[in-house]
Structure 1
Amino acid sequence: MLTIQQLSYTHPNKDVVFNNINLVLQSGEKTALVGNNGTGKSTLLKLIAGELQPVNGTITTDAIPYSIPQLFGPYNQLTVAEALGIDKRLRAFHEIVNGNTNEEIYEQLNDDWTIEERCNEALNYWQLNDVLLTSKLETLSGGQKTKVFLAGIQIHQPELILLDEPSNHLDAEGRKLLYDFILHTRMTVIVVSHDRELLNLLNTIHELSSRGITAYGGNYTFYQQQRSFEKASLEHDIQHTEKALKKAREKERETIERQQKNDARGKKKQEQSGVARIMMNTLRNNAENSTAKAKNIHGEKINSISQELTELRSSLPEIDQMKFGFDASPLHKGKVLFTADGINFKHGNGTYLWQKNLDVQIYSGERIVIKGGNGSGKTTLIRIILGELTPQTGTVTIAENNTVYIDQDYSRLNNQLSVYEQVQAFNTSALQEHEIKIRLNRFLFSKDDWNQSCDTLSGGERMRLLLCCLTIGRQSPDIIVLDEPTNNLDLQNVEILTAAINAYKGTLIVVSHDATFVEHINTERSITL
């Protein structure tokens, strides 16, 4: 079905994305492509789709790939029919129905007499009953845009499907439809996603890294188990190498001390026996050369072991290299932070968002998830909790607190600042420069990153930088509000965020369609809209 051989790709800025990678997929295989941000997962999908051309290597397939993009900006000015590439066939179909017998029109239709029927069935299946084929994509929500391209699968019936973060904008119902499709389809599917529930529906996992592509014959849970075995083996190798380094340093010290004692004894004997001065200088030089030679031999061995240890440690997952440092919130557990009695909200002259007025109370130390479908008012409720919106009905009481709102783009960061300047902006506790740089290193920002502009950071890097900023202030936030925080993160950075949030002991309010993430951050109750 799909064969990739010795494939290499380099960005126009000359950065090498990957070199000489290989991949073979059989017909009907459902696989995930996983790997850290920057390893080239989305780039590889674009190469398979023919949207990019490789520097070297070949891609061979007996099917025309169908892609579902992660970003919809290039399609926003198109109608649904244009985005799906069916506008000409639909126009030809309607012209023939209306009596046009032009041969060119029949060629455009290409005997696809069920095109309109398939379109309506596909849109209905993906809960797009109110979306017209003539609707502009810019008028649709993110979830609706994703569903439009998913509907295209039923319309085009491709044999090879490429999905790039397909569940990012889908609500719970949309995700269930996607999962059902993945379970039952016989098409060949390649998925790039951090949605672990989706990844567990796939037959194989292919990990893309600097070493190439490594295949794991099972779903994501199996992949995690294998990776944990590999990690345990790596940690064993690190411990063994640390012991070898310690032993080599002790051996060096013992050898040099013994050599120095021997030299001292020899010198004393030579002085007592009346050896000539010129001979004494020669013997002293020989002793010094012997000591230097011993140092060089041991030094080379120590350097070799040290380099091996550095390489092993750099292979550890980033989450094991990080140190979180959230202070406790000064608010006592159980303090009432937010109370809403009978609230409702409407935008402009529209209808109220909620069928029943809401009564909500939030206490210090709680971990809450806000649930609801697309358009149910989750973000509106968050903005009311933050004090940014005032409901048209009911009353709201907000206790004084320090709240941090984190959205999926981590837009609290100032894109005009460098990494170091951004952390300094949060430095309310007057940490010294060297202390700030130690914190940056804890969050995996090395010296080479400190002057990098925030607007060039990936989603995962933005997340890590904001976490670093939050731990550097005078005190941790009383409330952290997370609004779809995992949408632009790879799997490893989702794990880093999960670990950081679990290290935080204040009040947590989260909106997320990622059920696994919500479970792993130990939310205690839900507000369903």
Structure 2
Amino acid sequence: MSTDPSAFSAPPAVVLSNLSFTWPSGAELLTRINVAFTAGSTGLVGANGSGKSTLLRLIAGRLTPTSGSVSVRGTVASAPQDLGLRSADTVGDLLGVRSRIDAVRAVENGSCDPSLFDLIADDWDVERRAEGALAEAGLDGLDVDRPVGTVSGGEAVRVGLAGLRMTDHRITLLDEPTNSLDRYSRSAVYEAIRTWSGTLIVVSHDVRLLDSMDRTADLHDGTLSTFGGGWSDYRAQLADGQHAAERALRSAEETLKVERRQRAVAEVALARRQRYARTDFDIKRRPKSIMQTRRMQAQVSAGKLRRRLDSRVDAARSAVDDRADSVRRDDRIRVDLPSPGVPAGRRLAEFTSCRGETFELWGAERVGVIGPNGVGKTTLISMLADGSPHGRAMRSTAVMARAHTDRIGCVPQLRDLRADAESVLDVVSATSPNASPDRIRARLARFLLRGDAVHQAVGSLSGGERLRVLLATVLLSDPPNQLLLLDEPTNDLDSSSVDALVDALTGYGGGLVVATHDDALLKRLAVGTVLELDGDGFRVRRVRD
């Protein structure tokens, strides 16, 4: 990122002081965070559900801290995760200029409403500027009146970023800005962020993007730690710290063993002394008064020794607890998928194009769908899922897809569960009506959705948590799905959750269709065939082992 070196000596743009945030349910998410964000870029990282998006909303002023404070110097602009979900909006809405464009048009059509002139101010060329911002983002020709529901998820994200570039805010917050973007679009975002001015805070799981950051802020167990450099530097520093913490923990555990052993040896010695003392008293070797005095002295001495040894054991145990708190034990999704029982000779899906290409998916075959944003990958997935194309209708006839099974599970690119007011437990139970609530809860625990989290409304979840709920509904449905459709499945997932998803799907015995820009994911899933879409059809490419 290019910034004026003197800006780093300027007062911080964002200061978090003893910031804590607790959900209405009483669950504490953030605990006494003290961090300052200065000019330059900061990558905000952490596991799904750790509170990254919540922290951005606190900085933007859309949430109020439970305690502590957020201080900002300058205006704040942000791009949320759900840009592609705003199907009722237009491109102009995502750019943030819809109202001004409408005002200019109304005045040009003869309106003299003073409020329109106040809204326009001096920005009479707002529509031209909007078109220029879209062209700069590689979206030349995209109409500002076009509904967001008719553009791809990647295009929606690029429109939102173009809108932020049109404004002059000192502080910018980005939440997963490269989700759903193809290689070209990601490169454009990387370049835009490299030259972004002011203070930029980016939540992302995109390693290349995170590596370009000036600093990394790690949100873990409700606390925030900062590291110099990007993702690779952060991981190296974290690994060094964890190795040191593990060594310190092992040393503390050894010390505790020694103290406990010494405590046990001392108890044996004290017991032996008491036995000898009773024997002396019983056979009356010395006068009774002397024996009683010595017994009292021995009891006092034994009490002091026990307290001293107990204190040393407690101190050693406390040291172990302190060292253990410094060692991370990160949870991860653990799923064993039930067998869908798909024979190798069962045809599950077929694909045809207007150019005459055909492809059929049989048995447990794995197919990757690739191509640039807007080419029709999501449309293809939706046609397989329910027979109706979504997205760009003009492109939907170039490639047709048809499923030959009704046992289909789909994780769409737009994580719309259509049940935002329902609880996690209710949503997942609907896909397994014969399973008991206890069994459903046990399944959800494997997706790290435990305790009171299963009663949370789906609409209140983070992007990563929402995806976990979707995965649970799809992967654990009863009866098992014979065909799984995944559209950009790694969007919003942290690295450990991606690993878990790959592990779960490695043993899946049904058909799999994955639309993604992530070549590494296709390789890890052992995809055998790739359909490369070009807007007019597709090319079949077999993947060598």
TM-score by length of 1: 0.72
For 1:38-74, what per-residue CA distance to the aligned partner results, in whole angstroms no more than 9, with x for missing partners? 5543334334434445554352324x33221223599
Deviation (angstroms), 1:193: 1.6
Task: Tell me the residue number matched to 2:270.
Answer: 259
Of 34, 37, 40, 1:21 maps to: 34
Residue 235 of structure 2 aligns with an amino acid whose one-letter code is: Q
* CA 451–240 in structure 1, closer or farther in 2 if over 3 Å, else same: same
Of 134, 139, 149, 2:160 maps to: 149
Deviation (angstroms), 1:235: 1.8
Which one is further off, 183-192 or 368-377? 368-377
Task: Tell me the residue number matched to 1:485.
Answer: 489
Which one is further off, 125-134 or 448-457? 448-457
CA distance in 1, matches of 2:433, 2:299: 55
For 1:160-201, what per-residue CA distance to the aligned partner results, in whole angstroms no more than 9, with x for missing partners? 422122223434443333223223444542211222232223
> Which secondary structure state, in structure 1, belongs to the residue aligned with residue 134 of structure 2?
helix
Of 325, 336, 343, 2:351 maps to: 343
Of 511, 516, 520, 2:514 maps to: 511
Of 248, 273, 278, 1:237 maps to: 248
Deviation (angstroms), 1:276: 8.2
Task: Tell me the residue number matched to 2:531.
Answer: 527
* CA 244–24 in structure 1, closer or farther in 2 if over 3 Å, else same: same
Of 202, 220, 237, 2:231 maps to: 220
Output the aligned Cα RMSD: 5.3
Task: Tell me the residue number matched to 2:71.
Answer: 59
- Superposed counterparts of 1:35-54, under 5 Å: 35-52=46-63
Kept in 1, the 8 Å contact 2:41–2:215? The answer is yes
Kept in 2, the 8 Å contact 1:340–1:358? The answer is no
- Superposed counterparts of 1:288-437, under 5 Å: 294-319=305-330, 324=334, 326=336, 336=344, 339=347, 343-344=351-352, 355-361=355-361, 364=364, 369-374=368-373, 376=375, 378=377
Deviation (angstroms), 1:498: 0.8
Kept in 1, the 8 Å contact 2:425–2:440? The answer is no
CA distance in 1, matches of 2:475, 2:347: 28
Residue 134 of structure 2 aligns with an amino acid whose one-letter code is: L
Which one is further off, 12-21 or 377-386? 377-386
CA distance in 2, matches of 1:245, 1:480: 51
* CA 475–47 in structure 1, closer or farther in 2 if over 3 Å, else same: closer
CA distance in 2, matches of 1:182, 1:57: 28
Of 124, 143, 146, 1:132 maps to: 143
CA distance in 2, matches of 1:387, 1:453: 28
TM-score by length of 2: 0.70
* CA 280–338 in structure 1, closer or farther in 2 if over 3 Å, else same: farther
> Which secondary structure state, in structure 1, belongs to the residue aligned with residue 92 of structure 2?
helix
Residue 511 of structure 1 aligns with an amino acid whose one-letter code is: V
Residue 67 of structure 1 aligns with an amino acid whose one-letter code is: S
CA distance in 1, matches of 2:318, 2:173: 40
Kept in 2, the 8 Å contact 1:403–1:478? The answer is yes
CA distance in 2, matches of 1:266, 1:521: 73
* CA 375–5 in structure 1, closer or farther in 2 if over 3 Å, else same: closer
Residue 499 of structure 2 aligns with an amino acid whose one-letter code is: T
Task: Tell me the residue number matched to 2:175.
Answer: 164
For 1:343-377, what per-residue CA distance to the aligned partner results, in whole angstroms no more than 9, with x for missing partners? 33xxxxxxx6x65433144675x765432345555
Task: Tell me the residue number matched to 1:502.
Answer: 503
Task: Tell me the residue number matched to 1:347.
Answer: none
Task: Tell me the residue number matched to 2:392.
Answer: none
Kept in 2, the 8 Å contact 1:203–1:219? The answer is yes
Instruction: Name stretches of at least 5 consecutive residues in structure 1 with no aligned partner.
Output: 345-351
* CA 210–111 in structure 1, closer or farther in 2 if over 3 Å, else same: same
Deviation (angstroms), 1:326: 4.3
CA distance in 1, matches of 2:363, 2:158: 37
Deviation (angstroms), 1:294: 4.7
* CA 205–375 in structure 1, closer or farther in 2 if over 3 Å, else same: same
* CA 204–45 in structure 1, closer or farther in 2 if over 3 Å, else same: same
Task: Tell me the residue number matched to 2:536.
Answer: none
> Which secondary structure state, in structure 2, belongs to the residue aligned with residue 148 of structure 1?
helix
Kept in 1, the 8 Å contact 2:215–2:230? The answer is yes
**Identity among equivalent pairs (%):** 26
> Which secondary structure state, in structure 2, belongs to the residue aligned with residue 528 of structure 1?
strand
Kept in 1, the 8 Å contact 2:347–2:360? The answer is yes
Kept in 1, the 8 Å contact 2:332–2:496? The answer is no
For 1:438-492, what per-residue CA distance to the aligned partner results, in whole angstroms no more than 9, with x for missing partners? 998887677x559756857656567778989999999999986544333343x3x
> Which secondary structure state, in structure 2, belongs to the residue aligned with residue 66 of structure 1?
strand
Deviation (angstroms), 1:500: 5.4
Of 184, 187, 209, 1:176 maps to: 187
Kept in 1, the 8 Å contact 2:417–2:470? The answer is no
CA distance in 2, matches of 1:278, 1:451: 70
Residue 220 of structure 1 aligns with an amino acid whose one-letter code is: W
> Which secondary structure state, in structure 1, belongs to the residue aligned with residue 42 of structure 2?
strand
* CA 516–35 in structure 1, closer or farther in 2 if over 3 Å, else same: farther
Kept in 1, the 8 Å contact 2:84–2:153? The answer is no
Kept in 1, the 8 Å contact 2:59–2:70? The answer is no
Residue 23 of structure 1 aligns with an amino acid whose one-letter code is: A
Deviation (angstroms), 1:341: 8.6
Kept in 2, the 8 Å contact 1:498–1:520? The answer is no
Kept in 2, the 8 Å contact 1:327–1:475? The answer is no
> Which secondary structure state, in structure 1, belongs to the residue aligned with residue 200 of structure 2?
strand
